[in-house]
């Protein structure tokens, strides 16, 4: 005890002034963000205003192109097609994810303990499965000849699905990707909303019921207000995540067949990777960031409303 | 008297059926992956899918494990993942402590920066990262991947550690300081043990994110194919195994297993940590 006290006092005397400590503690984080986040973002902006192809990558110097890359992209018909598809992709996925996720959360609330644990374990399993592992599984489930999905569909009487090749048709490939992303994303929404619901005292629902409120009324007057802040947060996070989704699409279809599953992040990557047009890719990435900022503003408004409540 | 229980049972029925459907749909792909990995090839290629196999084999696992480079990709993934998690934990612990326990000018701005970084569209960094790595001769290196994953995991590591730290009363540390500990010793002896579950959950998120990361691994490791990570290798399984679904599913199972086990073991803690930080891997 004595020794530690002595060491303690000594440590304090020799140490840095107390006002400096917080800054020392955050210094590595700030340095990390500066070099690994801010600098690459700035560099991206710079590249998007330059002529930057394979030659520039090797030589290391590049000329300025002004707004050339942006006007090239914005005049490209494919870009607008991709932008529209990205919007559609985000809307379809997020709607399905939120509706199903909320439904499952409300269901979990009503289930008995044993059933609830069972469903939670299932959700956690789906949630925890690594993205790339599940993409291979979905390719297996939807494989044309031996895939179990085709087998079930044929059994149900849809004979046209005999040996149906899901990844050769645009809409079908898009559907498989939607199913994959929804399957992976519902658990987060369901579990988060469910744990938000468990923070509500059961008496609140009980007293509403005693006051004669029906199921719908309880949902509107008790459940919904309780869920609203966390719901907004989850919604904006899902918009951001689905919009940014890259690994699944790239691993399953690489944006194909004939561009039917190319969304903005895939497009930016394709332009850079296969055409070696790093400048156009950078411009597309900047445009993607600009769109995302809208979603971010939504997110931060929710976030700080939450922070204020905590 | 007897009618009521029947009605109650009937009312509960759609709910239970719905629960079973949700359970089945969430579990089936995982079940199908593991099952295929263990099935004999004749069962995999059967015209009628075999849902409950009569015999199991480890043949696909040995195919996957002996496939070209499996162990070096496994080792690469493990090195990069643990490296980034440890780095992020150390750096984040300092930052989380400063935010949760100290008052200083610029604190709000720092918190805002962390939140911005948490949702930063880091896919937009693919191209500049490639160019920067190329310029500085850092392409095709696992160190580069470790640093990038550190950047990706750091924000949510800070946010979640902060929420775990705020849940531990500062008075405990103050009491230890009154008893003669330094601030550092008070933290080490009092708060750190209480923080252990938080550190565990947080490093799990980091582990999963880095273990799964695909886009940067795919972009930054190009020439040196031996330095690839498991997700990239697995995504190109058709080049490795052709249409050998047994080996592919065995490789996927081996890839998913550590995460699945960790997640199931830490299930409850993960859920609370997630809501605390509102993050996803």
**DSSP codes of every residue in B58-103:** SHHHHHHHHSTTHHHHHHHHHHHHHHHHHHHHHHHHHHHHHHHH--
Optimal mutation site among A39, A136, A146, interface B, most CBs of chain B within 10 A: A136
Q: For helices A264-275 and A77-110, what crossing angle results, to 10°?
A: 140
Closest by alpha carbon to B275, among B184, B225, B205? B205
pLDDT (average), residues A43-64 = 83
- Which residues is A171 bridged to in the sheet? none
Q: Is the pLDDT of residue A242 over 60?
A: yes
Q: Given pLDDT bands bounded at 50, 70 and 90, which one contains residue A9?
A: very low
Q: What is the pLDDT of residue B281?
A: 34
Q: Tell me the three state secondary structure of residue B48.
A: coil
Q: What is the pLDDT of residue B194?
A: 85
Closest by alpha carbon to A94, among A240, A207, A274, A310? A240
Question: Which of A91-105, B96-110, B231-245, B248-262 ranks highest by mean pLDDT?
Answer: A91-105
- Which residues is B151 bridged to in the sheet? none
> Distance from CA of residue B243 to its chain's centroid?
28
Residues whose CB is less than 8 angstroms from the CB of residue A11 and which lie 6 or more positions away in sequence, other chains included? B182, B184, B185
Q: Given the structure tokens 């195919």, which residue do they identify?
A: B63
- Please indicate if any CB of chain A lies within 8 Å of the CB of B94: yes
Give the DSSP letter of residue A157: T
Cβ pairs A/B, distance under 8 A:
286
Whole-angstrom distance, CA of residue B56 vs CA of residue A147: 20
> H or E element: which one contains A120?
helix A113-128
Cβ of A128 within 8 Å of Cβ of B260? The answer is yes
> Distance from CA of residue B3 to its chain's centroid?
50
- Please indicate if any CB of chain B lies within 8 Å of the CB of A269: yes
H helices then E strands: how many in chain A? 16, 0
- Please indicate if any CB of chain A lies within 8 Å of the CB of B268: no
Q: Given pLDDT bands bounded at 50, 70 and 90, which one contains residue A228?
A: confident
B202/B243: higher pLDDT: B202
Looking at the complex, report in whole angstroms how far the Cα of residue B252 sits from the nearest Cα belonging to chain A.
5
Whole-angstrom distance, CA of residue B216 vs CA of residue B122: 10
Q: What is the pLDDT of residue A308?
A: 62
Within 10 angstroms of residue B218's Cβ, the number of other Cβ atoms is: 22
Q: Are A122 and B23 in contact, with CB atoms under 8 Å apart?
A: yes
Whole-angstrom distance, CA of residue A182 vs CA of residue A96: 7
Residues of chain B with C-beta less than 8 angstroms from the C-beta of A292: 121
Closest by alpha carbon to A183, among A237, A128, A233? A128
Q: Are A181 and A261 in contact, with CB atoms under 8 Å apart?
A: no
Cβ of A137 within 8 Å of Cβ of B252? The answer is yes
State whether the Cα torsion A98-A104-A110-A112 is positive or negative: negative
Portion 116-145 of A in contact with B at CB < 8 A: 116, 118-138, 140-141, 143
Nearest chain B alpha carbon to A252? B235
Q: Tell me the three state secondary structure of residue A116.
A: helix
Nearest chain A alpha carbon to B281? A128
Q: Are B158 and B99 in contact, with CB atoms under 8 Å apart?
A: yes
Residues whose CB is less than 8 angstroms from the CB of residue A16 and which lie 6 or more positions away in sequence, other chains included? A24
Q: Would you say how long chain B is, in residues?
A: 281
pLDDT (average), residues A164-182 = 92
Give the DSSP letter of residue A50: B
- Please indicate if any CB of chain A lies within 8 Å of the CB of B267: yes
Residues of chain B with C-beta less than 8 angstroms from the C-beta of A129: 29-30, 256, 259-260
Looking at the complex, report in whole angstroms how far the Cα of residue B78 sits from the nearest Cα belonging to chain A.
15
Q: What is the pLDDT of residue B91?
A: 95
Cβ of B271 within 8 Å of Cβ of A195? The answer is yes
Nearest chain B alpha carbon to A28? B91
For residue A64, report the phi and psi dihedrals to the nearest 5 degrees: -85, 145
Q: What is the pLDDT of residue B10?
A: 63
Looking at the complex, report in whole angstroms how far the Cα of residue B206 sits from the nearest Cα belonging to chain A.
13
B69: left (phi over 0), alpha (psi -120 to 50) or beta: left
Whole-angstrom distance, CA of residue B214 vs CA of residue B231: 6
Optimal mutation site among B64, B96, B128, interface A, most CBs of chain A within 10 A: B128
Please, is A155 exposed, middle or buried when counting C-beta atoms within 10 Å of its C-beta (0-12, 13-18, 19+)? exposed
Whole-angstrom distance, CA of residue A193 vs CA of residue A188: 8
Whole-angstrom distance, CA of residue B226 vs CA of residue B54: 38
List the structure tokens of B194: 């209480």
Closest by alpha carbon to A144, among B51, B248, B26, B243? B243
Across all residues in chain B, what is the average pLDDT?
Answer: 83
- Gyration radius (Cα) of chain B, Å: 24
Closest by alpha carbon to B267, among A128, A238, A132? A128
Q: What is the pLDDT of residue B21?
A: 93
Closest by alpha carbon to B196, among B172, B165, B154? B165
Whole-angstrom distance, CA of residue B90 vs CA of residue A190: 32
Whole-angstrom distance, CA of residue A132 vs CA of residue B256: 9
Q: What is the pLDDT of residue B102?
A: 87
B19, B97, B120 ranked by CB distance to A119: nearest: B19
Nearest chain B alpha carbon to A110? B15
Optimal mutation site among A125, A163, A242, A308, interface B, most CBs of chain B within 10 A: A125
- Please indicate if any CB of chain A lies within 8 Å of the CB of B42: no
Residues of chain B with C-beta less than 8 angstroms from the C-beta of A303: 115, 278
Q: What is the pLDDT of residue A142?
A: 92
pLDDT (average), residues A144-161 = 88
Q: Given the structure tokens 């750091």, which residue do they identify?
A: B154
- Please indicate if any CB of chain A lies within 8 Å of the CB of B234: yes
Structure ipTM: 0.82
The percent of residues in chain A predicted with pLDDT above 70, rounded, is 93
Cβ of B121 within 8 Å of Cβ of A247? The answer is no
Cβ of B132 within 8 Å of Cβ of A43? The answer is yes
Q: Are B164 and B198 in contact, with CB atoms under 8 Å apart?
A: yes
A11, A37, A60 ranked by CB distance to B120: nearest: A37
Q: What is the pLDDT of residue B228?
A: 86
Cβ of B249 within 8 Å of Cβ of A136? The answer is yes
Looking at the complex, report in whole angstroms how far the Cα of residue A221 sits from the nearest Cα belonging to chain B.
22
Q: Are B175 and B255 in contact, with CB atoms under 8 Å apart?
A: no
Residues of chain A with C-beta less than 8 angstroms from the C-beta of B128: 40-41, 43-44, 47, 282
Closest by alpha carbon to B85, among B126, B158, B146? B146
Query: For chain B, how long is the longest CA-to-CA vector?
Result: 81
Q: Given pLDDT bands bounded at 50, 70 and 90, which one contains residue B170?
A: confident
Portion 180-219 of B in contact with A at CB < 8 A: 180-185, 208, 211-212, 214-215, 218-219
A5, A134, A241 ranked by CB distance to B280: nearest: A241
What pTM value is reported for the model?
A: 0.84
Nearest chain B alpha carbon to A232? B278
Q: Is the pLDDT of residue A4 over 80?
A: no
Whole-angstrom distance, CA of residue A76 vs CA of residue A70: 10
Q: What is the pLDDT of residue B230?
A: 87
pLDDT (average), residues A76-93 = 92
Cβ of B215 within 8 Å of Cβ of A269? The answer is yes
- Please indicate if any CB of chain B lies within 8 Å of the CB of A301: no
> H or E element: which one contains B131?
helix B126-135
């Amino acid at each position: 005890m004595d020794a530690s006290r002595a060491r303690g006092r000594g440590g304090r005397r020799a140490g840095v002034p107390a006002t400096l400590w917080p800054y020392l503690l955050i210094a590595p984080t700030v340095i990390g963000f500066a070099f690994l986040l801010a600098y690459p973002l700035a560099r991206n902006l710079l590249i998007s205003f330059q002529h930057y192809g394979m030659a520039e990558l090797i030589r290391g110097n590049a000329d300025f192109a002004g707004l050339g890359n942006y006007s090239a992209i914005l005049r490209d018909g494919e870009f607008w097609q991709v932008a529209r598809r990205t919007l559609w992709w985000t809307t379809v996925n997020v709607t399905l994810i939120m509706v199903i996720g909320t439904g499952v959360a409300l269901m979990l609330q009503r289930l008995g303990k044993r059933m609830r644990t069972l469903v939670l374990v299932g959700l956690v399993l789906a949630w925890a499965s690594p993205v790339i592992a599940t993409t291979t599984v979905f390719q297996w489930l939807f494989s044309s000849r031996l895939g179990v999905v085709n087998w079930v569909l044929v059994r149900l009487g849809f004979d046209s699905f005999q040996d149906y090749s899901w990844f050769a048709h645009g809409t079908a490939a898009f559907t498989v990707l939607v199913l994959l992303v929804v399957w992976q994303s519902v658990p987060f929404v369901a579990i988060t909303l469910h744990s938000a619901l468990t923070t509500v005292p059961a008496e609140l629902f009980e007293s509403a019921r005693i006051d004669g409120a029906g199921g719908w009324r309880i949902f509107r007057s008790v459940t919904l207000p309780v869920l609203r802040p966390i719901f907004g947060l989850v919604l904006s996070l899902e918009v951001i995540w689905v919009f940014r989704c890259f690994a699944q699409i790239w691993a399953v279809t690489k944006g194909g067949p004939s561009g039917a599953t190319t969304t903005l992040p895939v497009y930016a990557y394709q332009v850079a990777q296969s055409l070696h047009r790093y400048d156009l890719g950078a411009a597309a990435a900047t445009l993607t960031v600009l769109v995302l900022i809208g979603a971010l503003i939504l997110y931060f408004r929710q976030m700080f409303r939450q922070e204020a409540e905590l | 008297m007897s009618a009521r229980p029947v009605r109650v049972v009937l009312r509960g029925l759609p709910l239970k059926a719905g629960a079973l459907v949700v359970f089945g749909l969430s579990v089936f792909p995982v079940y199908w992956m593991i099952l295929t990995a263990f099935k004999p090839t004749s069962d995999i290629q059967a015209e009628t899918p075999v849902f409950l196999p009569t015999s199991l084999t480890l043949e696909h696992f040995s195919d996957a494990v002996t496939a070209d480079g499996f162990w070096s990709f496994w080792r690469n993934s493990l090195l990069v993942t643990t490296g980034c998690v440890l780095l992020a934990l150390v750096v984040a612990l300092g930052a989380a402590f400063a935010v949760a326990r100290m008052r200083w000018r610029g604190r709000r701005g720092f918190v805002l920066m962390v939140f911005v970084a948490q949702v930063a569209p880091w896919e937009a960094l693919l191209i500049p990262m490639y160019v920067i790595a190329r310029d500085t001769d850092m392409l095709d290196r696992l160190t580069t991947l470790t640093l990038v994953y550190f950047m990706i995991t750091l924000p949510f590591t800070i946010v979640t550690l902060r929420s775990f730290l705020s849940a531990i009363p500062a008075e405990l540390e103050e009491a230890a300081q009154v008893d003669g500990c330094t601030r550092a010793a008070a933290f080490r002896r009092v708060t750190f043990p209480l923080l252990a579950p938080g550190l565990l959950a947080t490093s799990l998120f980091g582990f999963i994110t880095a273990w799964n990361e695909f886009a940067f691994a795919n972009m930054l490791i190009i020439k040196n194919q031996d330095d690839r990570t498991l997700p990239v290798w697995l995504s190109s399984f058709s080049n490795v195994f052709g249409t050998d679904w047994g080996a592919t599913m065995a490789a996927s199972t081996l890839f998913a297993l550590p995460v699945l086990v960790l997640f199931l073991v830490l299930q409850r803690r993960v859920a609370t940590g997630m809501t605390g930080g509102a993050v996803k891997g």
